[in-house]
Chains A and B, each alone.
Chain A
Amino acid sequence: MSSKEKLTCYHCGLEMSENETVWFDEKPFCCNGCKTVYEILNQNKLAKYYKINETPGIKNTQIDQEIKHKYAYLDDPDIEQKLLEFEGGPVKIVNFYIPNIHCSSCIWVLENLDKLNPYITHSEVNFPAKNVRVTYQGDHLTLREIVEILASIAYPPLISLDDLEKDKKKSNKKLLYQLAIAGFSFGNIMLMSLPEYIQQQGFWIEKFAPLFRWLIFALTLPVVFFAAQDYFDSAIKGLRQKIINVDILIALGITVLFLRSTYEILTGTGTGYFDSLTGLVFFLLLGKYFQRITYDYLSFERDYKSYFPIAVTKLVGDKEEVVQIKDLKAGDRFLIRNEEIIPVDGILMKNKALIDYSFVTGESMPIEKKVGDKLLAGGKQKGSYIEIEAISDVDNSYLTKLWSREAFKENNTQTIKSLTDKISQYFTFVILSIAFLAGLYWAVTDHWSTAIWVITAVLIVACPCALALSAPFAFGNILRKFGYHQFYLKNAQVVEDLSKIDTIVFDKTGTLTKQDKYKLRYEGQILSDEDQSIIKTMVKASNHPLSRLIYEYFHNASIKNLDFITEITGKGIEAKVGDDAYKIGSAPFTGAQSEEESTQVFICKNTHILGTFIFEANYRPGLPHLFKQLDKDYKLYVLSGDNAHEETALKALLPSNLIYKFNQSVHDKMNFIYELQKQGKRIMMIGDGLNDAGALQQADVGVALSDDTNVFTPSSDGILKGDRLIQLPRFLKIAKQSKYIIYLSFMIAFLYNIIGLGFAITNHLTPIVAAILMPISSISIVVFVTLLTNIISNSLKYNKFQD
């Protein structure tokens, strides 16, 4: 290997320079953490991990000692009991969520955990859900030990407050059961009905018809009473709320079909419409199933609980004690270690804190805090451990209090009627009048029994199968296509909501800007090679995020020996080389004059300012184009929690008629949306951090933008991958077009209904007509809708920067 070639870590694939490399077993590693993982795997004959995929690991940031303390709370029997999925004598089963699972090597190594510890009897990975289920012998191995094993090979499970409170997962397999039973009955009934359609009379029919009819009847019972159950429930619910939804018509249709068919076979007057009935239920359930699509690894309902730890280390006198978060009271002192989240508001008592609030604000630059400063819950400590004194308990912290506010609980119950339900209202009214008028006509001209026959026939044929199928298949298909292009929606209803949007509100930090990338710009006189080396050496030892950025900026410079160096927290770094004194830091520290409001670091050599580093937020590419496109059809707003220092940069970048709001608190954002809604606007909010959560909930459609779908996103209606933001106009256009497709399919459905009604009113609706008409209408609608939605979502495939 030539020395010029870039080295990559054997474990995690990180590129590194030669002098940072840790060599072990003739393999390069970027850090001791990665090396340790390799060591453990290699010792236990699991080195094949590195053969399935190259550099399959995730950078191991945890150090052994930290692991030891971090999971002490798992020894608490109360916590353990809540986390276990199954406990039967010595055998225990636990299911972990491990965000690091990302490749086939992960699956392999996690399913061979028994090689790391003989008391682990079995482990099984669910890759899409990023879960691993471990079966172990509880009398030889504790839960804590298992978690420590996982953490030691860089697969730390995420155990959050949510795991404690959540009820054990409810399975939603019912729909699949219903579908299976409906399909089974439908298929068999079709076969068994056939003889009577072909032959009207004769020995065969007379002999076997009763048997077939009762068999068919028996097959129909589970369909009506089990498979179609949800439609009856929903219809009753609708009636109670005095809303006419499409399920009322369906339930009515099923009831009439069932009663009339039963009457026919009881009296021996006919074969009944059982095949149409079961077919109807089968197709409806199919639509429901198609519409239901779940992204196992995403959650739209997350709140702070899925992020907060279960327990912290409390300090009682000199002793450390593990307590559950809910038992933490104001006045308690507790420890927060590197990468741990502060669970309650508190005052910093010991050591220097570097708090990353990215989960709250979307701003990734950590903030420095000194002893005596107030720390808000939700921040993540970076660096050494800190001691905090709680000033509130977990339910009364700033963030958690936000969560319990009404807006979050309301759950948007302002029942916006879906397209289908809106149409069904009129539809129901029209059908009932037709049934009544036709019945009246036949009662007058013929006999009342004929009238009943005709009325039931109208209700049967009008059963809005095609109507009920259009939206599920159209929106379901769009949902799937969007998901394929990394715009994940909560459910099909969101597609419809998207089509009605007229206003879009953007959050700035983390949404318009990239979350973790800052642009570094140097202004001032050109630095000599020696100056560069000295500056690089000065910032090398510092943990401050700005220092690290500067360090990376000088990646070509070499390291120098300094005579003296000291870091003054919150101000800067001072150093001496020979006769020269260097200062790097804030304006007052270096004695520079600063006019700009942006983040700056000055370089001072012997009281002379050499220059300044300016840190600028890095805007996502394609923003001007995106806004220009959206500006044509939507009213646009930009909200920001930051001060206005980026305003000029934004104004240069985006259309001039945008409305900006700076210094917006969490409540301001939410109220802003609410005020717009009062003006009758339909709003889509795009944000990312927890500080947008209120606004996301309040908006008609709240979309959380995320660069990494594995990490936390506030609860929302949809999750959009960061680099897909520029495709937003296309997504919105497709949502709009899908609405027109549904209108079209409604028209086709009505056409079928008119034909069907023709048969019904004239008293010609025989079972065979119904058995042909119903499936044809359903299938043709499904094909029509699926084809068209496929065509319109094709445009998503094109290159991002086109059009």
Chain B
Amino acid sequence: MVGRAQPVSTWPGVGAAGLVAALILGTLAAVALRAETAGGFGPADWSALRFTSVQAVLSAVFSAALAIPVARALARRRFRGRRVLITLLGAPFILPVIVAILGLLQVFGRAGWISDVLGLVGLPPLRIYGLHGVVLAHVFFNLPLATRLILQAWQEIPAERFRLAAQLGCDGGTMFRLIELPMLRRILPGVLAVIFAICLTSFAVALTLGGGPRATTLELAIYQAFTYDFDLGRAALLSALQLALTVAAALAALRFSQRDGFGAGLDRAIRRWDGGAPVRDAFWIFAAAAFLFLPLAAVLISGLAGLFEMPIQVLRAALTSVLVACVSTVVFLTLALPMAFAVAAGRYGIVELSGILGLAASPLVIGTGLFILIHPVANPSTLALPVTALVNAVMALPFGLRILVPAAREVVTRHGRLALSLDMNKKTFFTLVLLPRMRPQIRFAAGLSAALSMGDLGVIALFADPQIATLPLQIYRLMGAYQMQAAAGAALLLLLLSMGAFWLLDRGGRHHAET
């Protein structure tokens, strides 16, 4: 497609992609160049690589496999509270790691709710610690993302196809095979690659749920190289390995994801005529909701007591976090939109790749690299907030692009030729066609970026200044000072703020509720 006239410019997107790649690879290079000795791998690193890959593959496969029936059920059913449910489904994804661990273990732990129930009927407590625990936790984090991405693809199937299938008398199974399966084959490779990459950088979750040093991941090895051994060369090498794995996964996803070869539709609201199996759909919706909401309920219950005796410092940190989330979202959109348009206009390879790099970049390496680069010219702690906002925006890019790219591609292929034949200039195409048609996806992506930025500890801990703290950092500080109850209250506040920001920007998932 490259070389043909396009109704949108590709250079801003290529430029943005270049900036992102420069940030991620530049910080990695800064760390590598600062190293005193050339790093090398030890046997422990190889076993970390093995464990990291195995758990990431399993987590991706289980998250995506479970997301399919949940997304299908949500796509087929209309019920009261569906919109709220879809928004809340996103909550686990944005929880700070330490809060999520405590919430998960209050449900699935030795002394968790499930073990309590088992105890009532005389059964031993659940044995959650191990590889299965790691996968369970990662499914908890990523099932919502997978469900949202797949659900979105479901909503983007032209309504005409379902109508035609219904006229031809297709039953649910046939409809699945003819319409939905091709869609899944298009979207699943990308979903698997994204979740695989997210799980590659897991550290605290994998270690805690994995039950000990058997569950050593690459990210732990990077942390160890930085702090325990101060071996920057090894840290850079391990981080490069993480990036290589992610790029390999992304390339595989690009290769396997087939394009939609079918005709376009007229954007009608989707109506389904295959109303069969309501019990099965209800089961999947109920099971997913229970799995995701029980740990959230644990966070809610332990947070309620602390919510009303919040120290003033927590409220101040909350304000800082909201500010960081706003700036981060603006930066995110400035990078993500041109990149999505460039991909839609055919420049997909390099732009999509640099977009996905953010997933595998170790926050520790980016933070340390930025520190090395900034320190000679400025005081890093005065730049704590801008740097945090920037890094959070880059970290949200991979998710944002997954949301924006399919829609941008659809608009450009569907309306591009007409626009060109009308001699519509790029600016007019952008304001009259592209933006209005992509509004729902832009809102969803912006909401996700804001929520992620709010909940992520990011690099603030590396740059911190005692006067400036974000809410996640303040939660860690409260816990470090034995104030577990206040920390639980602050975690609940964070959850409410993140969900609020998401809801506000996504406008209650309007797009997904009814197209």
Q: Do A and B interact?
A: no
Task: Please list the residues of chain B having a beta carbon within 8 angstroms of any beta carbon in chain A.
Answer: none
User: Which residues of A line the B interface, CB within 8 A?
Assistant: none
